Amino acid sequence: MESSDSILQATLRYRGIQGMYFLNKRGDIGYITADSNKAVRETFPQINNRELLKKHPDFMEQLEGFLLQTGEIPGALLDHGKACEIELGYIVPPDENQPWNSSNFVLHNHVIEGLRIDDAMTSAGKFQSPLGVGVDEDRYQTVRSLYQGFAHLLYHKNAFGVHQYFPVLFKLPGANLNSTTPQEKAPLRVLNLKWSKSDDMGLSAERFARFPAIFSILRANMVKRGAIILDDSKTIVAVS
């Protein structure tokens, strides 16, 4: 993972990233606290859970394949040289004029268009959970709070009922988190952990079913840490 100093810089500048998953350039994932970060294995405390392993006998095999996949994601992004479907958007420090307290999550156009397609394909014409705040046209807004953007993508399903997104933070190697840069060069990016090199950067429903136990566990762990808040009915609570 990144050094503690680098992580601390990020938490000071980018409000709200504590508790969110963080992917480093080696493909290790952990989560950020105020002054440190966790190693990849600590992201899966269920490894020694006998009941879970009994319920999911293929869990360890899934985990091995999943960890191999995460190592491909940063390299594929950097080799591509520009925003692609692996990258969902980027994080911008909070602005005093915005209506929420966390940093801003700016979604790339291909994500917005994907959500539009999902919406059009559903019989009710509505998303699994609200995108945006309030009126219908806000469902497709590009900029939203970090919490709201992550929560929606984590629980959003396409028209076939399949989860498509698992957002993680990624700092571009060599980038200075304290520098002021144009938004398109923002150093803190959001990648989709549900990407696989074998998919050739396409969005196919089949790949999202490869590691069902892994992603459900990662979501549950994020809820336990309070990074994503659900109410008693398992509905996403709007948090600032």
Give tens-digit pLDDT for 114-129.
887 777 776 544 444 4
Give CA–CA dist 102/93, Å, rounded.
Answer: 8
Tens digit of each residue's pLDDT (9 = 90 or more) over 57-113: 888 988 988 888 888 888 888 776 555 678 999 998 888 888 888 899 999 888 888
Residues in the chain: 240
Give CA–CA dist 144/101, Å, rounded.
Answer: 11
Do residues 226 and 141 touch, judged by C-beta distance below 8 A?
A: no
Closest CA to 23 of 55, 51, 42, 1: 1
| Distance (Å) of CA 161 to CA 28, 40, 114, 167 | 29, 29, 14, 18
| Distance (Å) of CA 193 to CA 69, 137, 197, 202, 206 | 9, 28, 11, 14, 15
Q: For the chain, which residues make up each domain, given as ranges? A: 4-225
